[in-house]
Amino acid sequence: IVLFALSVLHYFVSPAFLISDYLLLLVPFFMLTSLLTRRINEKKARKDARKSLKLYFISSSLRLFFYLMILIAYGLLNREDAPAFFLTFLLFYLIFTATEVSIVVKEASK
């Protein structure tokens, strides 16, 4: 919610060359992909707890590959908006990854 609010503020305050056409769709996109991956990992971890860390790394790698494919496709299809989209995408990726890693570390230390 905070990240979405900051995105809306950025949308109205920042210069046009820093605002991607899909800025406001990126927060729900990252939220959904994170929740979906987390849900799948939790289901698999219940079956075999020893494989949960391995599964986390595999799912993170696949998600990163999926994100790279999106960036490549977007860059090829929307060259004018690509720099702003790439910067926003990278920022959201770093925020969501840092948040997810901190949650996984907290859960693992329990």
**Tokens 């900051």 belong to residue:** 6
Q: Please, which residues have CB within 8 angstroms of residue 34's CB and are 6 or more apart in sequence? A: 96, 100
Q: Are 92 and 34 in contact (CB under 8 A)?
A: no
Tell me the pTM. 0.82
How far apart, in whole angstroms, are the C-alpha atoms of residue 45 and residue 13? 43
How far apart, in whole angstroms, are the C-alpha atoms of residue 88 and residue 103? 23
45-104: pLDDT as tens digits? 777 767 777 888 888 899 999 999 999 999 999 999 999 999 999 988 998 889 888 887
pLDDT of 48 reads 73
Amino acid at 88: T
How far apart, in whole angstroms, are the C-alpha atoms of residue 56 and residue 40? 10
Task: Give CA 73 to chain center in angstroms.
Answer: 17
